[in-house]
Structures are given as C-alpha cells and as structure tokens.
Chain A
C-alpha cells in the first residue's frame, strides 16, 4: 500500500528507468562548465609545486602584462577579506583548528595549495598567464605520515598550534552488566580467554568523480549567484555567508547537474571562496573549472588511517571486548567535517556483534598532504574493514569457519530491536537470512572444496574466500545526536509537494542529487501518494532560490530523510485536498475516500480527481471556510534515529602465486536495505558501491613521494578500474523493513563500498594462508602480493 491509501503501490517498488538519464547520457545536461554569463572572465590558479615552504615572494608583473589578463591576485591582496575556510565539527572541545586562507599568504603546506589567482578574458589566456607568475619558495621539512607528525620533535605545520595533533577523542562504552570497561574485559580475557591484536592500514584514496569541480559566480544582480558542481548548495550558502561576511539573503547558490561526488564534493573549497571574492571585486562573472590533475591534487582525499585493534574473547570465540586505536591523517588543513569523518566510524567498529565493552581512541593529525574528508562511506568503510578483517583473522586463529564465528557473535534476528555497546539501537535486521542466501548463491561449500583441492595439489593459482557481514548507520541524521556530537548543523530534510492548477505536480526537495536518481525515485513516491502519473511530476532541487530549505545529499540520507519528507508533504496535500473535495461533493470529509487519484463519496459514484481539486484550489471560487487557496504541502522531517542496512558479501579470489595477480572469481552480495523504491536504482548503487570498495582493495592509492609530491597525479598512475577489470556481480536482497519510517526504507548509497573492501582482502589473504601470509597492505597490487608470498616463505 502507499503512504496515503490502501491501494497497492503502482510506482514504489517498480523498476522505473530514470527520468534524468536521457539528458545526462545524450549531453543535453547543464554541467556547470557549460554555463556562460555575459562578459564572463576565466580564473586559473597558481598552485605550489612544493609541499612545505615559506613564500619568499610572489612576482606577478609578467603575468599582469600578459595578453588578456585582467587581474592577478595574491594571498596578500585578499588577506583582509578571505577569512578562513570553515570546519563544522569539533570532535572534542579542545580540537585545534588552524586558520585556512583560500590563497596562501606566507606559508604553503601541501603541494597544490593556491598561491595566486589569474583572471583573464579566456581560459587559454588565464592558463598561459599562470606560467608567468614567479614564486620563490623557501623549503621547510616535509611531514608525510601521522606517526612522524605526532612524534617528538616533529616539524610543526601550524606553529601557532604548537602541535600537529588536531584532536584526541576517546569514547568509552560498556553495556549494562559488563564487568567493567574495555581494559577490565581485556584483562580478564588475558587470564582465561584470548586477546588478539591486529594493525591494519587504510590507504589514502581520491574520490575521482567523473566531472571535475567547476564554479561560476555572477555578482552583477541583486543577489550574488554562485553555480557550483557541489553536493551541498544549502550548506555552502550558509557557510559562504558566514565566512565571507556576505548577507545570506544576498546570496544564491545553484548546483546544476553534478557529475558525481561520492563525498568528494561535500566541501567548502578555497576555489569557491576565491571565485566569489574575485567576481565581487571585479564586478564581473568569473568562472573556474579545475583540470583533472588539479582535482586529483587538491580536491579532498579520503580514508588515510593507521588502525590498531585489540579483541578480547572467550576461548570458544565469543567476543567480549574491542579496543580501537586510530591515527587519522587530516592533511595540511582541517576540512569541513575534518575529524568528524573517522568519528562516524566510532559507532561502527562493533558492527553486528555483541560486545560487553568497547573503546574508540582517535587522534587526528596534520601532514603536508591534501586535506581529507568524507569519501563514500565516510568513516564506516574504515570501521567495517577493521572489524571484518579482524573477524576473519580471528577465525583463522581459532581454526573456525569465518561465517561460523560471525554467527556465534552477531545479533540474532529475534533480538531486534537491539541496543549495541556503542549506544545505537538497531531497529531491525536479519543477518541469518542474508547470510544463508549469500552462501547459497555463492556455492560456498563447493568453493571451499575446490580451495582444499587446489591446496593439496599446490596449484600455482590458489583460491580464497572472504567474508564481510556488514551493517552501516545511515540516513544521517537525528539533529539532536549531531548536536550532542558537536556537529554545527542538523540532519533534517524538507520537501514541498505542489499541485499545479492543471493537475501536474512539482516536488521541491532539499536533497541535492548528483547521480542518485532522486528525480525518478521522488516521482515514484509522489505518484503513489497522490495518485498522479509518474510523468506528470517534476522534481526540483539544487537551487537555493527554488528549493530554499534543505540539508543536501551525503551519508545515504536522501531517501530515508528526504524521501520521507516527500511522503509527509504529499500526505498533507491529500489531507487538504480531501477537505476541498468533500466541499465540492457536498459531503462530509469523513465520508470521502481517496483512491487511484480520485476523491469519492463512499457508496456513490460521485468523485473528483486530484486535478479537479487542484484547479478548484487555484480558482478559489468556492473553498470551505478556513481553507486557503492553492494546493500544496510542506514537511520537514528530522529522523529520530539512524537507519541500519546490512548484508553479507562473499568474495572468491584467485591468486596467481607466480605473479601476485589477484582476480575476483565470484562476488555475491545479499543486501538488506529495507523496502525498495526502485530496484534498478538500487542495483546501480550496489554495483557502483561494490566497485569502489573493490578498487580500494586492489587498485587505488594516493601516493606521495618523499618531497610531498603526489606522484599518482593522473589516471595513468591513480588506477581507477574499468569494467574490463571487474567481475560480474551476483546481487540479491532480503527485505527487513525499517521500523522507523513510513516506507520502511534504509538507504543504500554507501553500503556496497562499506561491505566490499574487506570481503576482497579477506579472500586474497585466505588464499595465501598456506604461504605464511596473514595480511597484505592495500591496495593488493601484484607486487605486494608477490612480496608477501616471498616474505611468508622466509618465515
């Protein structure tokens, strides 16, 4: 049934092809770089090639005199107005936040930092002129790892802070009835149980969205308009206003079609600040579009953690305690969420298992590298990787099947709702069902048999099986919890559903799709709720003048929070329409039923369609007392809780021990994301998410050399896999509806990425256990795998 009627849902649950795809695929899109304004000028950035240096001098004379150049602006020129880029999450009250100018004034702290800005009549002229800016750098020692950054005597990136540590967060959890905190539990286990320790590496990744960042600022109207390829137009508007001292009502931000983000466009950037400041200064529209190499170097990176996990368990494998110690690399400056990203993982290391005690100990530190922030999963893939690697390693230690160990420790289906040691209440889930289905699709027993057989005959190509039984917390987020965590904003979402006089519908949403297909999914939801045709619904988003209220898109929140706002707004429309229809039908609203888009008097065949009611509300010739003209509903939803999709992913890899090449032989994922609005969209999210997780496991890493230069500066070296490198996945779903929202949905945008990385690494390590290998650092390049085999043989 739909949210508003008892009739079966016609749209929700249906495999609808996406409305937005036709324009996206045929190039009739409105990408930011396609936009143009009269008299528009072009910006190019002079970026530091060195990672850490004081700026001796910036000589702009030759550039100023170059053909077509209108202005060359340095950090000194902007010093009074550029303010500092904001951080909105104080993960501790003592968190140290260094000032972050958009254009460096006296020190550069990462290779790629902007040191001067050229504005010219054409993009080519701007590009030519940046070569003429002569900057003198006095090198400073370079710090490239958090371990070095936090060591005694380290070079301090921000001398005024006196340290490279930004924050140290310790969260200590224990369940009621626990014998004590995690130290006590570990102590007890060391006496008559098992204490198992592991260290893992989360390498630095680059979000590598397909559309490079682009922005155009037009200062010539009453409002300053900034078009930007961003995931967060609403957040950006507020923060631009606060940081640059522009009156918020004088600012309009528009996210046109945006070609992917993955968290990488969840940022308030120096480039955006500069574009606004420069446009305002010159009084002319100014556009900046980054090159791919600038994007890889300067758009924020993801992950980058050293992890140490200590597990306490009973001898039979029942886990009792977990201690997690993290060092997270923030890069040269604190980004918008900064330490908040690894902090989100705090609640996920305990995962689907029942621990008595758990401690999360996080230190965030600065290094001379690009800043880091959210990247698909934002803290949760890191956590899931840690715990799922740990469980597979622990299972091996015990000589137990890894699925058996999971089952021994997970929350049983009948135990939901379940409050975890980290204090989250998981509303629903069924790990048994997802796992059973996954095993079946995978052919688990047959593959294990084949593995044994290959081991017996010492086949040079070995087979490994990896498990990942994940859950994730998404649908960000209950505002009160964000407040408790000292995040500066809330987690609500807004929608307006507007019936137009001719019976068509506009759905205005505060979510900001950048590839997720909201226009389609929200149309499906509204179509069911209003009984209106899918094709008669237009979804408007991304422009603060059109969709003024919103908290944008990230954290797998849009369906769970934004979609539910659409539902609630549609309900209000139906409610008001019912009253008007009743009046039109000269009946009491209690006698009026709503089905299939029409209001009818019970027991008669008198009816009014939604379209007729909409027109009547517009004409307002005869409305009941107290009812205002026009037919529209507005709702803002603040979720009460997070939502908890889960799943079981099984991966079989073949490892060629002669070359170290790892190939995925079979990949099965069974995900439970609650109710499904559009299976096609879900498939797309699962595929894309899993692929990004596989990419972390096998292919991608942002590598810096000893001078602090990003040597994976192009796609020649930063290896994003293509379809040619990836397996065909087998996907399926179980459906345990969420109990915490009317549609029972849970969110799926990041789940695939969260689940897949440990499944792949576990599989490769599993294949090589007989070779003395118990861990390989990601990405599992053939070289690293081969080296691990050689080293294992030496042991």
Chain B
C-alpha cells in the first residue's frame, strides 16, 4: 500500500536535509522503533507495533539507498520479520524536500508491504494502522525539525553511540503505547510525546508554543 504524508517545517532546506539523512535521528522517530546498530548507511533494529489488541515485534534491517542533494530526495528501505513468525514488513520510504519561503515542505511517500497474519486477519485495518504509525513517524520528524533552530544533537558524533539504547517497552503512565518514540533523549522525549497530542487538540499554535518551550528547556538543560 502507498501512504502519503506532507508537512512543512520552519527550518531551512539544508537543516531539514541533514536531519533526514541522519539515520540516528530518523529511525527512532518510528513509533516503537529502536536501533540496535548502525554502520554507515545501513542499520538494524526492532519495531514494536502495539495498537489496540495487536502487539507484534519486527526485527530487521534497512539502509539508505539513495541520496540526491540536488533534488533533496532521499530514499531508504527497511525490511523486517515478526519475531514470532507472524509475517514480514517491508517499507520503502522516499522523502522529497522543497523550499517553502524560509521553511521546507516535506513530502514523504511510503510504500509499505505487510505479509502474514496482520494482513490476513486485519479486516483491512493494516492500512489504517500503518497510516497512523506513519503519521506519528512523520509528526516526530516534524517536531524534531521544529524544535531545532540549531543543528540537532545528532550531529555530535562522539556522544551519539552512547545515546542509543534498546527501547524501553514501558511507556510512561498515561501515555498510550505506540505514540512514543523509543529514543531516550530526555528533553525531546517529553516533547515528542506531548506534541502530537497537543497538535491534535489545539492546533498548530500549540505545536509552535510547545516547540519553543521544548527548545528553551533543552537549551537550559545543556548548560
């Protein structure tokens, strides 16, 4: 199935491009995802999909297959297997950036193929579940970009590896599972879980406010 998402961020095309090419920033944005290793353009990890009654864990690998700076097009592919043999998932994600005033318009096209039980018994819900997960993924990317007036922490290679820990499966109380990206970078942690909820309720204004608040908090914490 093909899923499309679009959003705009108040960051320059170059900043946005940098983020999109940084696996360690991008991958953990997927709900329930955690990287177990990265090696240049390749990565391995797990994705815990928990939505309603269904709880599956996919283990897999992926890599960047294309980066074209001129057209600001990046593609990465990932494939995984459910650890209990319930099927496979394959995603080919293409992001295209275009300048939009001072900001950037981002278009994310995902080709998702899910085999096995979720597709067999899902009553056709895999489309909606995937859409929801993708929307959260995209929302997280958007938040990261909105929150970073400066280069994202990911650009500091020395501390990068140490920040990558296996995802904790327990969401904090009152946070429904599946909306929480796994990466434990504390400041963005809180913001990223709160922001999508706020955005849904109170719209872009709150999003911007929360983004600023998060940024300020992050800056303060780094001192």
Contacts and interface: CB of A to CB of B under 8 A. Distances in A.
Interface of A: 46, 49-51, 111, 130-131, 133-135, 137, 139, 293, 297, 705-711, 713-714, 716-717
B113, B120, B121, most chain A CB atoms within 10 A: B120
Contacts of B87: 49, 709
Nearest to B116: A49
Nearest to A50: B115
17 contacts: A49-B85, A49-B87, A111-B116, A131-B83, A131-B84, A131-B85, A135-B85, A139-B90, A705-B119, A706-B1, A707-B113, A707-B114, A707-B119, A709-B114, A709-B120, A710-B120, A714-B121
B124 interface: yes
A50 B88 CA distance: 8
B123 interface: yes
B115 A713 contact: no
Contacts of A714: 120-121
- In the A-B complex, the 10 residue pairs with the closest CB atoms: A713-B120, A49-B116, A49-B87, A131-B84, A709-B119, A49-B115, A707-B113, A709-B115, A131-B85, A707-B115
Interface string B105-145: 00000000111110111111000000000000000000000
B115 A51 contact: yes
Nearest to B112: A707
B86 interface: yes
Nearest to B124: A711
Given A49-B86, A49-B87, A133-B85, A709 B123 contact: no
A710 B118 CA distance: 11
A46 B115 contact: no
Contacts of A293: 120-121
B44 to A, nearest CB: 14
Contacts of B122: 711
Contacts of A133: 85
Nearest to B87: A49
Contacts of A131: 83-85
A579 B132 CA distance: 85
Given A706-B113, A707-B113, A46 B120 contact: no
Contacts of B1: 706
A130 B86 CA distance: 10
Contacts of A709: 87, 114-116, 119-120
A716 B90 contact: no
B121 A713 contact: yes
Given A134-B81, A137-B88, A707-B114, 5 more contacts: A46-B85, A708-B115, A713-B119, A716-B121, A717-B124
B123 A717 contact: yes
B90, B115, B122, B124, most chain A CB atoms within 10 A: B115
Nearest to B119: A709
Contacts of A716: 121, 123
Interface in B64-110: 81, 83-88, 90
A66 to B, nearest CB: 13
Contacts of B114: 707, 709
A134 to B, nearest CB: 8
Contacts of A297: 120
A139 B60 CA distance: 14
Interface string B171-198: 0000000000000000000000000000
Contacts of B115: 49-51, 111, 707-709
A463 B205 CA distance: 56
Nearest to A296: B120
A394 to B, nearest CB: 38
A297 B115 CA distance: 13
A706 B121 CA distance: 16
B83 to A, nearest CB: 8
Contacts of B90: 139
Contacts of A707: 113-115, 119
A707 B81 CA distance: 15
A49 B121 CA distance: 13
A46 B86 CA distance: 10
A131 B114 CA distance: 18
A453 B105 CA distance: 59
Contacts of B116: 49-50, 111, 709
A711 B119 CA distance: 6
A50 B81 CA distance: 11
A331 B185 CA distance: 51
B117 A49 contact: yes
A709 B1 CA distance: 13
Nearest to B127: A705
Contacts of A717: 123-124
Nearest to A711: B119
A706 B122 CA distance: 15
B61 to A, nearest CB: 11
A50 B116 CA distance: 7
Interface string B1-45: 100000000000000000000000000000000000000000000
Contacts of A50: 88, 115-116
Contacts of B83: 131
Contacts of B119: 705, 707, 709, 711, 713
B5 to A, nearest CB: 20
Contacts of B120: 293, 297, 709-711, 713-714
Contacts of A710: 120
Contacts of B124: 711, 717
A130 to B, nearest CB: 6
B88 A130 contact: no
A49 B84 contact: no
Contacts of A708: 115
Contacts of A713: 117, 119-121
B112 to A, nearest CB: 10
Nearest to B86: A49
B49 to A, nearest CB: 15
A130 B113 contact: no
A134, A707, A713, most chain B CB atoms within 10 A: A707
B123 A130 contact: no
B43 to A, nearest CB: 18
A717 B115 CA distance: 16
A130 B117 CA distance: 14
A188 to B, nearest CB: 51
A167 to B, nearest CB: 30
A134 B86 CA distance: 11
A527 to B, nearest CB: 49
Contacts of B88: 49-50, 137
Contacts of B85: 46, 49, 130-131, 133-135
Nearest to A717: B123
A49 B114 CA distance: 9
Nearest to A133: B85
A133 to B, nearest CB: 7
Nearest to A709: B119
A63 to B, nearest CB: 10
B123 to A, nearest CB: 6
Nearest to A716: B123
B41 to A, nearest CB: 20
Nearest to A46: B85
A135 B88 CA distance: 11
B90 to A, nearest CB: 7
B59 to A, nearest CB: 9
Nearest to A63: B85
Nearest to B85: A131
Nearest to A130: B85
A105 to B, nearest CB: 19
A708 B113 CA distance: 10
Contacts of A137: 88
A717 B116 CA distance: 15
Contacts of A111: 115-116
A708 B120 CA distance: 10
A709 B89 CA distance: 12
A133 B114 CA distance: 19
Contacts of B117: 49, 713
Nearest to B2: A706
A686 B119 CA distance: 36
